A and B are shown apart, each in its own frame.
Chain A
Amino acid sequence: MSEAIGRRIPVVDYLVIEGEPHLVAQACTSCGALFFDRRNACARCGKLEFEPKDLATEGTLRSFTIVHRAAPNVPVPYVSSVVELDGGGVVKGNIVDAGSDAEKFELGMRVRLTTFPCGRDEEGTEAIAFGFTPA
């Protein structure tokens, strides 16, 4: 297998991995509501126009859980979290590099976006995911 050195792809298209990694939302041009997936119309106001908006890479931990049981092919435990990004955007992602001891995570604590490799295809392309670390 020829290793395609340096070929990387974001695991989802709302993650930008060039330059400083960050998330990009689709913002409703009428009401400003933010979405991470493709939308046909705004769920908040019903208007049709969106524009990309770069989101902050820091935020606060709004909620978390530590998953100990999942499908056999998903490694456990992992810490899932809901993060409120500074300036707008609420997103779900793992807290990485912080262990899985519930005592370590304080609701409201500051977190920062980070990226990590999460898989490789047969052509050697590496998929890159985002997560959060305590800031």
Chain B
Amino acid sequence: MAADAWIIGASMTKFGRYPDKDSIDLASEAALDALRDAGATIHDIQILAAGSLMEASNMLGQRLQKQIGQTGIPVYNVANACATGATAVRTGIMAIKAGEADMALAVGVEQMGKMGLLGSAGQARSAPKGFEPSGRYGSVMPVEGILGTQLMPGVFAQAGMDYASRHDGVGFEQFAKVAEKNHAHSSLNPLAQYRKVFSLDEVMEAAMVAYPNTLLMCCPTGDGAASVVLCSDAKLKTLDPDVRRRAVKISASVLTSDPYVESDTAQPDVSTLTKRAAATAYEEAGVSPQDLNLVELHDCFATAELIHYENLQLCEPGGAGDFIDRRGPWRDGDIPVNVSGGLISKGHPIGATGVANLYEVATHLRGEAGDRQIEGARVGLTHVIGLGSACAVHVLERAAS
């Protein structure tokens, strides 16, 4: 196994709406602050990985360099659905582990505005001139709403209901409790897009989007950026004691795609690749789920978070409903999950998400999370899923003091 990589700088913008800024403004703000946090400058950086789902095909990283320093280093523009940010970070980690760089900068950004529902929303249903089968399914028209749903709230609702069909004690109320928790957690996070507490009744009585996901159980669209500065073991030894003291070890970095399963013909399976990524990460890091002091996982919808309790081994097999019922994932529970407020309330600017959850865990491990600090946190895990699918899991540990 190659030497470890470390996070020595981390930053994120507050998630929200920035109609007067562009992606480069947001990415610059996060990157410059991460460099400042690391006590480094752009001249120390030997590779830049820039993640944005909508801007990766548009030389985002090089446009960012025009604002923060054009030093001629290799730039990778990365897209991997909602795992985009984590994939950018992992690109930096791989360069360090390969010995190509001893310091790397990774940035994730997205500017979504109020773009509404993601997925295949369907096009106009006016009568076409003549039906002509096209595409790999030989379809004669857009089929959203005709052959089920491909919209994200419904796809993840079906993923949750599939779990409910196989396990007792999981229903609308358990899914709603996930959102109740994450909204409550977000009230302590000044960087969250929303910070309002809602009762379980309010969550369940909110407008239905795709049963069982109500509006308060769905992540919002939004804008934001996050960035980390990474370095090698050898490089860390040469840095200031203050930087070393605050350094966070990346004990595992794992990326998976979905292996074949029979139900792929209906919709992507978000569980199998997460289970594999988690198992590999625990082995790589030499930690067990019980060692975790906090977890930031991909709660794009409340139904998704619940099934990931089991996928990430945070609860017994089949026990996800019981885990939320006994408040296991609350910030004062067995394993605090999404103390940032999660995607549901902190927000989900797609490319930023997988970097922002590393920022969150690293900030707790450094003991710098303010009001929302999980006291004495030593080990944390981050997880993101890009539907289609890509899953990234990272395990972080506080530097031995």
Indicate if the CB atoms of B122 and A73 lie closer than 8 Å: yes
Indicate if the CB atoms of A63 and B151 lie closer than 8 Å: no
Identify A11's interface contact among B141, B165, B267, CB under 8 A: B141
Indicate if the CB atoms of A125 and B130 lie closer than 8 Å: yes
Instruction: Give the chain A neighbours of B130 by CB distance below 8 A.
Output: 121-123, 125
Indicate if the CB atoms of A71 and B264 lie closer than 8 Å: no
Q: Main SS of chain B's interface residues?
A: loop
Indicate if the CB atoms of B260 and A67 lie closer than 8 Å: no
Identify A91's interface contact among B141, B164, B265, CB under 8 A: B265
Could you tell me how many residues of chain B have their Cβ less than 8 Å away from some Cβ of chain A?
A: 50
Q: At the interface, yes or no: B2 with Cβ under 8 Å from chain A?
A: no
CA distance A104 to B194 in the complex (A): 35
Q: At the interface, yes or no: B58 with Cβ under 8 Å from chain A?
A: no
Q: At the interface, yes or no: A33 with Cβ under 8 Å from chain B?
A: yes
Indicate if the CB atoms of A73 and B149 lie closer than 8 Å: no
A-B CB proximity, top 7 nearest: A13-B138, A107-B165, A65-B157, A80-B148, A92-B148, A71-B121, A37-B136
25 residue pairs from A and B, CB less than 8 Å apart: A11-B139, A12-B138, A34-B265, A38-B136, A62-B165, A62-B263, A63-B162, A65-B212, A66-B210, A68-B207, A70-B149, A76-B145, A80-B148, A81-B158, A82-B158, A82-B266, A84-B263, A90-B262, A91-B266, A92-B267, A102-B211, A108-B165, A119-B127, A127-B140, A129-B147
Q: Give a binary string over B266-300; 1 marks a CB under 8 Å from any A CB, 0 the rest.
A: 11000000000000000000000000000000000
A interface list, Cβ under 8 A from B: 9-14, 25, 33-38, 43-44, 61-71, 73-76, 78, 80-84, 88-94, 102, 107-108, 118-123, 125, 127, 129-131
Instruction: Give the chain A neighbours of B127 by CB distance below 8 A.
Output: 119-122
Indicate if the CB atoms of B211 and A68 lie closer than 8 Å: yes
Indicate if the CB atoms of B143 and A129 lie closer than 8 Å: yes
Indicate if the CB atoms of A90 and B141 lie closer than 8 Å: no
Indicate if the CB atoms of A78 and B149 lie closer than 8 Å: yes
Instruction: Give the chain A neighbours of B208 by CB distance below 8 A.
Output: 66, 68-69
CA distance A64 to B127 in the complex (A): 29
Indicate if the CB atoms of B145 and A75 lie closer than 8 Å: yes
Q: Give a binary string over B126-160; 1 marks a CB under 8 Å from any A CB, 0 the rest.
A: 01111101001111110111111101011001110
Indicate if the CB atoms of A70 and B148 lie closer than 8 Å: no
